[in-house]
Amino acid sequence: MKYSLSLALLSTVLGAPRLQAKALLQKAVIDSAHQVDDLAFQVSQATLGRTYSGKNFSMTRQQLKGGLQDGTTLLTVDNGALKIVLIPTRGMGILDVVANGQVRYGWDSPIKEVVHPKFINLHDRGGLGWLEGFNEFLVRCGVEYAGSPGVDKFINNRGKEDSSALTLHGRIANIPASKVEVLVEAGNPATIRVRGEVRELTFLGPKLILTTELVTQVGSSSFEVHDTITNVGSGDQEYQLVYHTNFGTPLLEAGAQFVAPIKSLQPREPMQPDALERYTTYQGPAPRFVEEVFFMTPYANAEGITTVGLTNRDKSLGASLSFPIQHLPYLSLWKNTASVEDGYVTGIEPGTSYPNNRSVERAAGRVPVLKAGESVALSIKFSFHTTPQSVATMIREVEAIKDGRATEMK
Amino acid sequence: MKYSLSLALLSTVLGAPRLQAKALLQKAVIDSAHQVDDLAFQVSQATLGRTYSGKNFSMTRQQLKGGLQDGTTLLTVDNGALKIVLIPTRGMGILDVVANGQVRYGWDSPIKEVVHPKFINLHDRGGLGWLEGFNEFLVRCGVEYAGSPGVDKFINNRGKEDSSALTLHGRIANIPASKVEVLVEAGNPATIRVRGEVRELTFLGPKLILTTELVTQVGSSSFEVHDTITNVGSGDQEYQLVYHTNFGTPLLEAGAQFVAPIKSLQPREPMQPDALERYTTYQGPAPRFVEEVFFMTPYANAEGITTVGLTNRDKSLGASLSFPIQHLPYLSLWKNTASVEDGYVTGIEPGTSYPNNRSVERAAGRVPVLKAGESVALSIKFSFHTTPQSVATMIREVEAIKDGRATEMK
Amino acid sequence: MKYSLSLALLSTVLGAPRLQAKALLQKAVIDSAHQVDDLAFQVSQATLGRTYSGKNFSMTRQQLKGGLQDGTTLLTVDNGALKIVLIPTRGMGILDVVANGQVRYGWDSPIKEVVHPKFINLHDRGGLGWLEGFNEFLVRCGVEYAGSPGVDKFINNRGKEDSSALTLHGRIANIPASKVEVLVEAGNPATIRVRGEVRELTFLGPKLILTTELVTQVGSSSFEVHDTITNVGSGDQEYQLVYHTNFGTPLLEAGAQFVAPIKSLQPREPMQPDALERYTTYQGPAPRFVEEVFFMTPYANAEGITTVGLTNRDKSLGASLSFPIQHLPYLSLWKNTASVEDGYVTGIEPGTSYPNNRSVERAAGRVPVLKAGESVALSIKFSFHTTPQSVATMIREVEAIKDGRATEMK
């Protein structure tokens, strides 16, 4: 069981409260096994009947209406400092995060609705149907496959030669959660947890279950995501997971900076040397901009944790991701500084691999395998920096991890 | 902006009340941007609390139940003379029209339910999945592509060679409206408007929005449809729109006549000369009838408006479409006088092109392009003739447009 | 009309009450033609206001919630001895059957939810999307096509060469019923009927309607399924129907026995002679077991009825299927004694053909055709044996049909 190791690492370094304290609330909001679907779920400091030091908090479910979002469920966690909008209907992705009621982290996709999977055909446009629902701050690519569309030939879990027409970024973001549970734990501050279970199962094929926990403390400017992928089948099973984390304005702007302790760097396509050297700097929106993708590995600190982030031009706003690199050794940077109309956005994407077609990643030895019954745990802490001080601290943290070591340009 | 021109043309000639009078009612029935989904929407002369000269009118929403129509929404506009059933769930198509409570315009498809898009896979049967929901009086084909299925190779809006497996008649008829708004305007008679917005959007791909307005006056035997297609992306974008308008019994029967001021005519497949000459006359239902398709261009009057229609055998019933040919220069006639069981129907189809695969239409120079932010306006007036006098007037109108000019057989 | 013949046969031999007695209840639960969708439907001996000799009975509808089963409807028929869970949303399949409140007939699929068709893409994984919803006791494969995925070239019903990418086991199990009607008829015991109508229709293509009736008597340990497939189009139409009837534990176990009067037997793939000889005996769950499929024809008795079944090792539990072989001459046995995690299950599958791709079955002359308007009736009686005596009676019945005749190994 690989689970314990990386969680232990993360809790040691990040101080995540992994041991569950006394639960003031533990409630299933959705549970297909027990006919639970609490459409009017809402809880707050007030409804719990207890007061805490610190800020108010709440959790609220909302059913979206109209057009392509008919039936989509949102679950908003407001910890008093961050308002985090989860999408149970779309694989427990995160639509956006608003810090201090002022700064929105996320991006402005041309897709305005939170599209229900019943309206998505992943095989559309030669396997690009996924793009018709793409507007999240955090969307998971995976978990059977995570990369570019196209036929992948492989040996299936019954030992036979097989092939499959993979679709862009996999299926998990278009599978509704079978179970969503919320917890509030006593403490000063209190702790909020949202657990989700998303099943990617087929008979005579892959059987992978994603369980995810979002955990945050009341008043905190960060939250953690703890994911577990379990192979519930009886044979070996490949898996892939890429955390497609996306930022637009106001954080992204001309002069915004990618900040990360990069060990190795390779552009997806050949690139002019000077363009490559400017890879940490962003341009403003440009109508005919063609996306640039960089494949990287990050350095980690002695505990195996890395931190990568983004700042705006004057370093008054930032966001960062901290995670153990043990199971997320590959980091992709997607620069899509296109027009506002087409979607001005950058993706910072820790992954078990790069988002190439699985056939490419397998050939490069980057597709891990779970044995029967085995699980792997993947964790990321997301932090939101809304003061120059907080941004500066994040930059120093990245520099400390880098510790003067070189970046290898491939 | 091409919008103004053709609307101006239409309002000049058809007298359409384009300037909005005092709204007695303006209400969103569906609006995904504002969480509006008024399932019990109903309004009538009585509920508005005012009386008008002229006939009673009403607008009523209905949620369909059971089978493949579970969740489909209808919006019925009854102007006192016409009962028009709109389908917001299916791209604002029109299911059928009943005139004077007596004559139904539409057809009897073997598909009896108003199929919800969640049950349609457009890629089914080699791209013919569209046919599993086809039973409307008016169904739009488009708006990214509108014709026959098959791979189309093209230069995409990022300047790269691309290809896409197009599906029959495009996607717009299987996209639910994101916004539906109704208006009632004072007047003698009052005016009723239903506005819909249907979005055909994808990230890294086409971004087209269809806004449509159906407008009619209380007591009128006609209504107009005013559509606008807008390219909300930042690059050039092709579009196609074919108005697949379909007629069955009682209008269609042995001896029914197609009435139109045709300038040029070409059968889709080679045809015997005598068969070609009889193209304006319909046969009765025939089990082994193979569909006949004619590609045409119509003459227009001095203002650029044409009128095309259909009459029954004894010219006591008819229907006609009047429209500016500027953006709808191509007219297709689909004769499918098959058995009653298989669907006895004819389609009169004004379009921005013919319904061939987009590759064929592009090669023929018939696929228009919208630049970034640009819109195009397309309008059709549908009139329903239920007396010999009204039919005769329509035929004279067509003859006046033709004005003795020749029809070129290609 | 082929209907009368086989039903007459079945009622003669099995004593099925085909003539309708006085209906104490006749009610539409779902009816898309009349806007009926009675979500809270429930009826029982008590609510009918009359008492009968014999056991209590009830019928109860339930809407499933959460994950991939959101919106799925179940209809549970409890005749006092059997609790039969029908799935109107999935083509009137049967999820499972519990006998005497103790023995569950069905199987433990890795798919735990009753997946709504809106989440199934039959074209997924090269046409294997069907497997993502597969967990029923009885799932119909059909009715346009029923077998393995792959392109089938054929002459369509307009006389043209055509081809279609067939998907595994057809579409009918992923089409919601357009009509569900329940009946209770007076008698001692009373009779319960559930009728469903599932439409597999497309314009310019196949038009097949499945009407199905499940009939059982209060207190009975058996029920019958009477299906009619009707070609409502105006041309000839092929059809296929394979009754994929599936058994897991407790009935299936190491030493469980397949019991059937087999006339001819051929393994789907070449097999060692000794393995072939052991084909009636099952193994326990085995992780790397590769499915074994046997294509058979059964002997019938003088009335044309056969009986095939399954017993556990010590012959204390069993189940059997009795049916006229006239329209179901082909019997497939699917042994999938895989791991519990992957699904330990066997399928006993009477069919109009074997579940090969339709192209294979057509070439072998096993794809029947319905002329315009024609129907075919298919009937199976399912019996559940929960005592050694009942199992022994079933085995004697099979032996009597076999009557010492030889099994031809092909």
Q: What distance in Å separates the CA atoms of residue C168 and residue C153, rounded to the nearest whole number?
A: 16
Q: Give A128's contacts in chain B (Cβ within 8 Å).
A: 202, 204-205
Give chain B's radius of gyration (CA, Å): 20
Mean pLDDT for C80-91 is: 98
B234 lies within 8 A of chain A by CB: yes
pLDDT of B160: 81
Q: Which chains have at least 3 CB atom pairs separated by less than 8 Å from chain B?
A: A, C
Cα C251 to Cα B396, C22, C292, C319, C389, distances in angstroms: 79, 37, 19, 8, 16
Nearest CB neighbour to A113, from listed B121, B178, B372: B178
List the single range of A15-19, B124-128, C215-219 with lowest mean pLDDT: A15-19
- Model confidence over A344-401: pLDDT tens digits? 999 999 999 999 999 999 999 999 999 999 999 999 999 999 999 999 999 999 999 9
Whether A317 shows a pLDDT value over 70: the answer reads yes
| Residue B316, min C-alpha distance to chain A (Å) | 41
Mean pLDDT for C167-187 is: 96
Is residue A203 within 8 A of residue C111, CB to CB? The reply is yes
Residue in A with minimal Cα distance to C343: A203
C178 lies within 8 A of chain B by CB: yes
pLDDT of A107: 98
pLDDT of A50: 62
pLDDT of A156: 78
Is residue A89 within 8 A of residue A173, CB to CB? The reply is no
Give the H or E element holding residue A3.
helix A3-14
Nearest CB neighbour to A131, from listed B31, B159, B205: B205
Residue C47's φ and ψ, nearest 5 degrees, are -70, -25
pLDDT of B45: 86
> C-alpha B136: how far from its chain's center?
9
Cα A313 to Cα A96, A275, A284, A310, C33, distances in angstroms: 21, 19, 11, 10, 62
pLDDT of C211: 98
Q: Give C30's contacts in chain B (Cβ within 8 Å).
A: 65-67
**What sign for the dihedral angle of Cα A109, A111, A113, A114?**
negative
DSSP 8-state secondary structure symbol assigned to residue B282? -
- Model confidence over A170-219: pLDDT tens digits? 999 999 999 999 999 988 899 999 999 999 999 999 999 999 999 999 99
Residues in Cβ contact with B229 at an 8 Å cutoff, skipping those fewer than 6 apart = B142, B143, B208, B209, B210, B239, B241, B370, B375, B376, B378
Residues in Cβ contact with A196 at an 8 Å cutoff, skipping those fewer than 6 apart = A86, A88, A92, A177, A179, A180, A181, A210, A211, A212, A213
Q: What distance in Å separates the CA atoms of residue A132 and residue A122, rounded to the nearest whole number?
A: 9
Q: Give A132's contacts in chain B (Cβ within 8 Å).
A: 201-203
Structure-token pair, residue C142: 């059909």
Is residue C317 within 8 A of residue C391, CB to CB? The reply is yes
Nearest CB neighbour to B32, from listed A65, A121, A125: A65
Is residue B245 within 8 A of residue B349, CB to CB? The reply is yes
B123 lies within 8 A of chain C by CB: yes
Residue given tokens 């402005």 in the structure block? A108
Kindly indicate the confidence band of residue B385, based on its pLDDT and cuts at 50, 70 and 90: very high
Kindly indicate the confidence band of residue B5, based on its pLDDT and cuts at 50, 70 and 90: very low
Whether A47 shows a pLDDT value over 80: the answer reads yes
Q: Is the bond leading into C189 cis (omega within 30 degrees of zero)?
A: yes
Whether B320 shows a pLDDT value over 60: the answer reads yes
**Per-chain mean pLDDT for chain C:** 93
**Per-chain mean pLDDT for chain B:** 93
Contact A121 B121 (CB under 8 A): yes
pLDDT of B47: 84
Kindly indicate the confidence band of residue B4, based on its pLDDT and cuts at 50, 70 and 90: very low
**Selecting from 2.70.98.10, 3.30.450.20, 2.60.40.10, 3.40.50.620, what CATH number does the domain C3-409 have?**
2.70.98.10
B163 lies within 8 A of chain A by CB: yes
Task: State which amino acid sits at residue B254.
Answer: A
Q: What distance in Å separates the CA atoms of residue C349 and residue C138, rounded to the nearest whole number?
A: 9
Q: What distance in Å separates the CA atoms of residue C2 and residue C341, rounded to the nearest whole number?
A: 43
Kindly indicate the confidence band of residue B6, based on its pLDDT and cuts at 50, 70 and 90: very low
Kindly indicate the confidence band of residue A157, based on its pLDDT and cuts at 50, 70 and 90: low
Q: What distance in Å separates the CA atoms of residue B371 and residue C49, rounded to the nearest whole number?
A: 71
- Model confidence over B167-209: pLDDT tens digits? 999 999 999 999 999 999 988 899 999 999 999 999 999 999 9
In this structure, the number of other CB atoms found within 10 A of the CB of residue A46 comes to: 11
Task: State which amino acid sits at residue B25.
Answer: L
List the single range of B145-159, B327-341, B359-373, C63-77 with lowest mean pLDDT: B145-159
Give the B window 200-229 contacts with A, CB below 8 Å.
201-205, 207
* Residues paired with residue C241 on neighbouring β-strands, in sequence order: C142
**What sign for the dihedral angle of Cα A159, A163, A167, A169?**
positive
Residue A360's φ and ψ, nearest 5 degrees, are -70, -45
| Residue A288, min C-alpha distance to chain B (Å) | 7
- Model confidence over C25-58: pLDDT tens digits? 999 999 999 999 999 999 998 888 665 556 789 9
Structure-token pair, residue C201: 């229709």
Which has the closest alpha carbon to B251: B88, B396, B390?
Answer: B390
Q: Give B69's contacts in chain C (Cβ within 8 Å).
A: 32
Which has the closest alpha carbon to C266: C361, C325, C330?
Answer: C330
CA atoms within 13 A on the CB side of A12: 12
Whether A43 shows a pLDDT value over 50: the answer reads yes
Q: Give A339's contacts in chain B (Cβ within 8 Å).
A: 234
Q: What distance in Å separates the CA atoms of residue C183 and residue C202, rounded to the nearest whole number?
A: 30
In this structure, the number of other CB atoms found within 10 A of the CB of residue C334 comes to: 18
Structure-token pair, residue A114: 């939170």
- Is the pTM for the entire model greater than 0.90? yes
Kindly indicate the confidence band of residue B157, based on its pLDDT and cuts at 50, 70 and 90: low
Q: Give A200's contacts in chain C (Cβ within 8 Å).
A: none
Q: Give C201's contacts in chain B (Cβ within 8 Å).
A: 110-111, 132
Residues of A85-105 as b/e, b for ≥16 C-beta within 10 angstroms? bbbbbbbbbbbbbbbeeebbb
Mean pLDDT for C241-263 is: 98
Nearest CB neighbour to A178, from listed C67, C109, C134: C67
Q: What distance in Å separates the CA atoms of residue B310 and residue B293, rounded to the nearest whole number?
A: 16
Mean pLDDT for C378-397 is: 98
CA atoms within 13 A on the CB side of C272: 3
pLDDT of C191: 95
Q: Tell me the count of B-C CB pairs closer than 8 A.
A: 105
pLDDT of A3: 31
Structure-token pair, residue C34: 């009349």
Kindly indicate the confidence band of residue A12, based on its pLDDT and cuts at 50, 70 and 90: very low
Contact B341 C372 (CB under 8 A): yes
- Model confidence over C308-367: pLDDT tens digits? 999 999 999 999 999 999 999 999 999 999 999 999 999 999 999 999 999 999 999 999
Kindly indicate the confidence band of residue A10, based on its pLDDT and cuts at 50, 70 and 90: very low
ipTM of the shown complex? 0.94
Q: What is the dihedral of CA B124, B125, B129, B130, to 10 degrees?
A: 150
Residue in C with minimal Cα distance to A118: C118
pLDDT of B54: 63
Q: Which chains have at least 3 CB atom pairs separated by less than 8 Å from chain A?
A: B, C
Whether A286 shows a pLDDT value over 70: the answer reads yes
pLDDT of A88: 98
Mean pLDDT for B303-322 is: 98
Residue in C with minimal Cα distance to B125: C164
Burial class (CB in 10 A: 0-12, 13-18, 19+), B360: middle
Residue in C with minimal Cα distance to A208: C110
**Per-chain mean pLDDT for chain A:** 93
Contact B203 A109 (CB under 8 A): yes
Kindly indicate the confidence band of residue B21, based on its pLDDT and cuts at 50, 70 and 90: low
In this structure, the number of other CB atoms found within 10 A of the CB of residue B136 comes to: 24
- Cα end-to-end distance, chain A, whole Å: 34
Kindly indicate the confidence band of residue B51, based on its pLDDT and cuts at 50, 70 and 90: low
pLDDT of B9: 41
Q: Give B68's contacts in chain C (Cβ within 8 Å).
A: 32, 175-176, 178, 199
Is pLDDT larger for residue C220 or for residue B55? C220
Burial class (CB in 10 A: 0-12, 13-18, 19+), B272: exposed
Structure-token pair, residue B205: 């791909």
Q: What distance in Å separates the CA atoms of residue A209 and residue A229, rounded to the nearest whole number?
A: 6
Q: What distance in Å separates the CA atoms of residue C7 and residue C28, rounded to the nearest whole number?
A: 24
Which has the closest alpha carbon to A213: A3, A73, A355?
Answer: A3
Is residue C84 within 8 A of residue C94, CB to CB? The reply is yes
Whether C158 shows a pLDDT value over 80: the answer reads no
Mean pLDDT for A335-345 is: 97
Is A48 in a helix, a strand, or coil? coil
**What sign for the dihedral angle of Cα C106, C110, C113, C117?**
negative
pLDDT of C274: 85
Read out DSSP for C189-237? S-EEEEEEEEEEE-TTS-EEEEEEEEEEETT-SEEEEEEEEEE-SSS-E
Q: What distance in Å separates the CA atoms of residue A21 and residue A39, rounded to the nearest whole number?
A: 27
List the single range of A6-15, B183-192, B197-206, B261-270 with lowest mean pLDDT: A6-15
Structure-token pair, residue B30: 């569906």
pLDDT of A18: 47
* Residues paired with residue B168 on neighbouring β-strands, in sequence order: none
Is residue A119 within 8 A of residue B118, CB to CB? The reply is yes
Q: Give A30's contacts in chain C (Cβ within 8 Å).
A: 65-67
Is residue B252 within 8 A of residue B319, CB to CB? The reply is no
Q: What distance in Å separates the CA atoms of residue B223 and residue B79, rounded to the nearest whole number?
A: 10
Which has the closest alpha carbon to B242: B378, B402, B336?
Answer: B378
For chain A, the structural domain boundaries read: 3-409
Give the C window 25-84 contacts with B, CB below 8 Å.
30-33, 35-37, 71
Kindly indicate the confidence band of residue B69, based on its pLDDT and cuts at 50, 70 and 90: very high
- Model confidence over A115-131: pLDDT tens digits? 999 999 999 999 999 99
pLDDT of B15: 44
Contact B110 C235 (CB under 8 A): no
